[in-house]
Amino acid sequence: MNDLDARLERLAAEATKDATAPDVEVIMRRGRHRRRRSRPVLAGTVALGLVLAAVVALAAVRGQDRLPPGPTATTVATTTTISTAGWPAYVDQAHNLRLRYPSGWKVRPGPLGAELVPPEYADSRPGRAKYAVTVAAFPGFYLSEGSPPATTGRLPGGQAYLHAVGYPDLPPWEDPPASPATARGRRYAGYVIDWGRFCSTGSKPFCGAHTVRVTVGDANARAFERYRATLDAIVRSATALRPAPPSTDDLGRPACRPDQWRLASAYGLGGLANPQRIFFSGIVRYRSGPACHLRLELRMTVERDGRPLPVAGSPATATVQGLLPDDDPRRLNKLGVHSTPLMWEFGVDEWCNRDLAGATLRVTAEGGRELAKPLPGASRSSARPQVCRDRGRPASVAGLP
């Protein structure tokens, strides 16, 4: 590990040594669904501080007019392939990460993690460059760190990721823009990657699911477009120093029995900055029994008076996979880890349509276990476009991501 790597690790350790880990349920109720659209997004407080590096940059992504997460890619999408041969390496030994960055770029500690900065912005203050790539690796499950809509895919090494691009200066009804390259205002982009299940080292060792986040926040539009392919190349270069199975791998464990888990109470309904979308989420909890692997399919229907409504995508499905008791949120919270593979989430687009008035969202699992939540009332009297109202567009539902 070079001097910079050691400095960054010390910085992260000092920032988090006295931190109190947030409760997983609080994160789900508040952090995941409370989105903001300006630079303070990147300064949102998360108990893991610098280790979580840019945890809210990707979470600021606003909703599009469609709910599904977008096309699935097999590798990092880019219009120009840039070779990383000869690029210097950034290494995080504690979190099993190596990636490449362009020669001549400056690497420095930033307020949200390690910053990779192009030469023309090297004299800027940390956290204030017109363009900087922030890199962070930390304990936690990657799907709990992302936010729809996002493109899904896999790195050349096989690691799954979510990728999203946003335009914080555009109103929600113009995001995404018709012409991204010429859209006015700032940009941000984020990759959140399943870094697998392994034992990290450092000041707070942890054995379990880990995440890598690579983000660009509030970037100058010209710089963002100039370095778009470079960002993809940096992400594509990411490799593990030691082999690590995916966070949802069964590790040879037997399947969990139905009596070993239960659906947790839902945490209400929340939405992103796009008021036309609402989310219904919860967690699967461990009850008892030997170590096992859980793979559970959940179904959500939109209904009224016990009868399904004809909503596109309903019934929607979502799959939960993880290890019991390892990934139980109560256990992880005690260890200072804020996310779990056992989280589930569904989304409803155009939820405030008149034909959904009085509707209920019902999530069911095997064995007949279920949770239900009524859709709240929505304001339809305001003429402001950003207020949730019936726009005459069909509603749809989907399991996320």
Domain boundaries, the chain: 3-240, 258-399
* Confidence grade of residue 177 (pLDDT, cut at 50, 70, 90): confident
Q: Compute the distance between CA of residue 373 and CA of residue 359 in angstroms, rounded to an integer.
A: 9
* Domain range 258-399, CATH class: mainly beta
The torsion angles phi and psi of 29, rounded to 5 degrees, stand at -70, -40
The pLDDT score that the predictor gives to residue 61 is: 33
297 within 8 A of 319, measured Cβ to Cβ: yes
* Confidence grade of residue 376 (pLDDT, cut at 50, 70, 90): confident
Residue labelled with tokens 């309904």? 269
Q: Compute the distance between CA of residue 27 and CA of residue 33 in angstroms, rounded to an integer.
A: 9
Q: Compute the distance between CA of residue 275 and CA of residue 272 in angstroms, rounded to an integer.
A: 7
Instruction: Report whether the peptide linkage leading into residue 205 is cis, meaning its omega lies within 30 degrees of zero.
Output: no
Q: Compute the distance between CA of residue 69 and CA of residue 66 in angstroms, rounded to an integer.
A: 8
| Low-confidence winner among 64-68, 187-191, 242-246 (lowest mean pLDDT) | 64-68
48 within 8 A of 21, measured Cβ to Cβ: yes
Q: Residues 116-145: what's their mean pLDDT? A: 94
Q: Compute the distance between CA of residue 382 and CA of residue 84 in angstroms, rounded to an integer.
A: 52
In this prediction the pTM is 0.78
* Confidence grade of residue 146 (pLDDT, cut at 50, 70, 90): low
Closest by CA position to 365, among listed 319, 307, 305: 319
* Confidence grade of residue 38 (pLDDT, cut at 50, 70, 90): very low
Q: Could you read off the pLDDT of 295-320 as tens digits, one per residue?
A: 999 999 999 998 999 999 999 999 99
pLDDT of 56 > 70? The answer is no
Residue type, 248: T
Q: Compute the distance between CA of residue 313 and CA of residue 301 in angstroms, rounded to an integer.
A: 9
* Confidence grade of residue 272 (pLDDT, cut at 50, 70, 90): low
Instruction: Report whether the peptide linkage leading into residue 149 is cis, meaning its omega lies within 30 degrees of zero.
Output: yes
pLDDT of 243 > 60? The answer is yes
Q: Residues 21-40: what's their mean pLDDT? A: 36
The pLDDT score that the predictor gives to residue 117 is: 97
Instruction: Report whether the peptide linkage leading into residue 315 is cis, meaning its omega lies within 30 degrees of zero.
Output: yes
